[in-house]
Structure 1
């Protein structure tokens, strides 16, 4: 194994001309966290780092400390971890405000094992050992409502009015101007801060949007995802609207974060073969399916995440793959020298994309390094399959998925035992909070979930 590469530090400090610099990173839950510092403070600390209390790795979405599992040695005493800015991400966010994304490191100079961005870097470095680079892309889904966030809060995030009308058919162009104005403003803001996007469109549910970010390096795409969601929230606030990335904000359709991934070696797409999946793609599929039940815990992080997994409603429900088959968990796009790729269709819109990318790349790495052969592809619809066909269903509850992750030796090896044990512990804590603090497992969507997940992550 190689040492973890470090982001660019310090070289662009003097380019910061704004009075304030916003430090940005996600916690494992996917919430976008940070602090605003004066320019002088930023310049003086850009090399040494900025102290954050380790509670950012210990609080749940209800702002309570998560208990019931062993803390790592460095956590639990409200000690400091250090945010180190990646200066390649420095942008002017608004007049007088710059923004920079970074990672969390320990006092001894080693990466925080729970830092989502560092986990992606760890997978990118592991791929490089075998001579591969990865290109990824993400489809962001969100639902926008007419009401302001203050009104949404007063209603308990219930009975809100979808922006653009009640029509719920994909690619619908006859939307009211308020819907178009919102997404046009989002696109302009993305252009202003240098985030490359490819397309946006109406999605299946009323008020639902799909926004496609441009493909790129996994860390850069993760950064673009985090900032895009911030842009979408800020534009909603400015226009008196509200937006949510819940996996299922209403009892209707859910929301996803489909991931597309390909591997390149010496600039050549290693997933391409004229006759179909290349050997590298085939092994990547094998690794993804071998780890998908454990990875489900990472890409389906919250109680509501599992309410998406309904046959015939869009998300995958089985451990399957197929060529151009969107009913399977992994869709292979084959036959094109540059566009051959795998679409990983399981993640919900509530997933932390950094962690989702780390989990997916871990599966790809395992498959390629160990030459794992996948099962036969599914040519028919992968929903509503009768028992007896030898096709496993994906975990459909938080605790089932956490158990699978805990028992997965591949993910434990690649992502690290400290991360796996931490994540499993927090998922079991979240399950307990739901069942003891007002959650209703028999509701299509409980009030507890709306209050906890609508705004965060």
Structure 2
């Protein structure tokens, strides 16, 4: 019996034969994709990989081929790319079904340049070459509605009823039983597949929740993020509810995906210094700010992402950092040997965490390698500042794409093949919005609800 087969059929001497194994990975848009294979098929293909048409990186969220920009050599004629499973991620998803996460590779054994998981791995390897490892945590925000997904579809994802009542105050405990039943079911599923969570709570908007995953290795946290969102969807389906990770699913508050990051060197938190930010933290902040405008394209990927950037509503709107300042784009938490960290507050809930984290790590790496010093921290509120006082974040998908296209740091670290393709796909998204029914003057157009509510 091969090691691959044994890993499926035997665990601690227990017979755990499954009828199927689900292959899982995100595409560049953040959609969780894959296929389900029989155990024998999985055992025969786990080393060589499983073929997927390259179109999985070429379709937009409306299921149309994205056109109007140059394709790399490996794209364009529906050739296969190959999914290779990471056996360390193999879990029992449910009775009769195992699940495994993997990466996409080309026939010649090189990683697909658009593969989000491989891009995160590339950045963690570059960071390791500098002598650092990263510890990451992520906050997942979502909104849950009383209606089933079928009813939500019939309504065009509009005028839905927030689960748990209309109260929108953060940390509200006066929630109805159906809201708590949903969250308890999610927590039970997370426990069952081994995803460690630290807390969940009511968030600002009606029906909105936040789940905090325990800190860990960048790749492991991204894997946990992808599976947590899948679990939240499946639990909603099972309970007759619906959930969305849109950056702004209603005309009210938006939804974020804050990334918390610390660096360790020889087992010591390299961000800690008694007097405030360490030199390592300062340079990391410098790199993050130097790449902030370009990274907006990656961490704010969709049209609706930019509707969230409103002064006084929570998200950052400026290229800024501050110590314990949640109105800034980068918040520095200082003075704790264990907890000194940076919080990157720009990403929306619709961001693909693998790509978002790759961009964040690229900024950190640039700051460390180039010893980039940050500007002075913002000590006041970073919202509503007079024009010209501080640079504002790009506020449209095309402005952010242009910033990324011109960002030589991100181009160097993430690769021109990724940057050019990503920029082209964002401009395609802008064109689809303006030619297929989007309304730039509404608070939230029906086109956006139809396109983004379920995917990513």
**Shorter-chain-normalised TM-score: which range?**
over 0.9
Of 7, 10, 23, 1:15 maps to 7
Deviation at 1:19, TM superposition (A): 1.2
Q: Is the 8 A contact 1:13 1:87 kept in 2?
A: no
Tell me what 2:410 maps to: 411
Deviation at 1:14, TM superposition (A): 1.8
Distance 1:388 1:355 in 2: 31
Deviation at 1:21, TM superposition (A): 0.1
Distance 1:327 1:130 in 2: 31
The secondary structure found in structure 2 opposite 1:62 is coil
The secondary structure found in structure 2 opposite 1:425 is helix
Tell me what 1:269 maps to: 269
Distance 2:85 2:441 in 1: 44
Distance 2:320 2:140 in 1: 23
Tell me what 2:297 maps to: 297
Show CA shifts across 1:342-388 (max 9, x none). Answer: 00000000000000000000000000110000000000000000124
Distance 2:443 2:5 in 1: 50
State how many pairs are aligned. Answer: 447
Q: How does 1:212-251 map to 2 (within 5 A)?
A: 212-251=212-251
Tell me what 1:280 maps to: 280
Aligned alpha-carbon RMSD (Å): 0.7
The secondary structure found in structure 1 opposite 2:291 is helix
Q: Is the 8 A contact 1:13 1:46 kept in 2?
A: no
Tell me what 2:452 maps to: 453
Distance 1:74 1:151 in 2: 40
Tell me what 2:438 maps to: 439
Q: Is the 8 A contact 1:85 1:101 kept in 2?
A: yes
Q: Is the 8 A contact 1:11 1:87 kept in 2?
A: no
Q: Is the 8 A contact 1:321 1:378 kept in 2?
A: yes
Deviation at 1:300, TM superposition (A): 0.1
The secondary structure found in structure 2 opposite 1:138 is strand
Distance 1:404 1:25 in 2: 28
Tell me what 1:363 maps to: 363
Deviation at 1:80, TM superposition (A): 0.3
Distance 2:239 2:7 in 1: 32
Distance 1:114 1:191 in 2: 31
The secondary structure found in structure 2 opposite 1:304 is helix
Distance 1:111 1:152 in 2: 38
Q: Return closer, same or farther for 1:416/1:11 CA change in 2, 3 Å cut-off.
A: farther
Deviation at 1:12, TM superposition (A): 4.3
Distance 1:15 1:103 in 2: 19
Distance 1:57 1:175 in 2: 41
Tell me what 1:63 maps to: 63
Show CA shifts across 1:208-242 (max 9, x none). Answer: 00000010000000000000000000000000000
Distance 1:420 1:351 in 2: 16
Distance 1:47 1:122 in 2: 21
Q: Return closer, same or farther for 1:135/1:13 CA change in 2, 3 Å cut-off.
A: farther
Tell me what 1:7 maps to: none
Which ranges in structure 2 are unaligned for 5 or more consecutive residues? 9-16
Show CA shifts across 1:21-68 (max 9, x none). Answer: 000000000000000000000000011100000000100000000011
Q: Is the 8 A contact 2:4 2:43 kept in 1?
A: no
Which ranges in structure 1 are unaligned for 5 or more consecutive residues? 1-9
Runs of 4+ displaced beyond 3 Å: 10-13
Distance 2:377 2:50 in 1: 49
The secondary structure found in structure 2 opposite 1:103 is strand
TM-score normalised by structure 1 residue count: 0.97
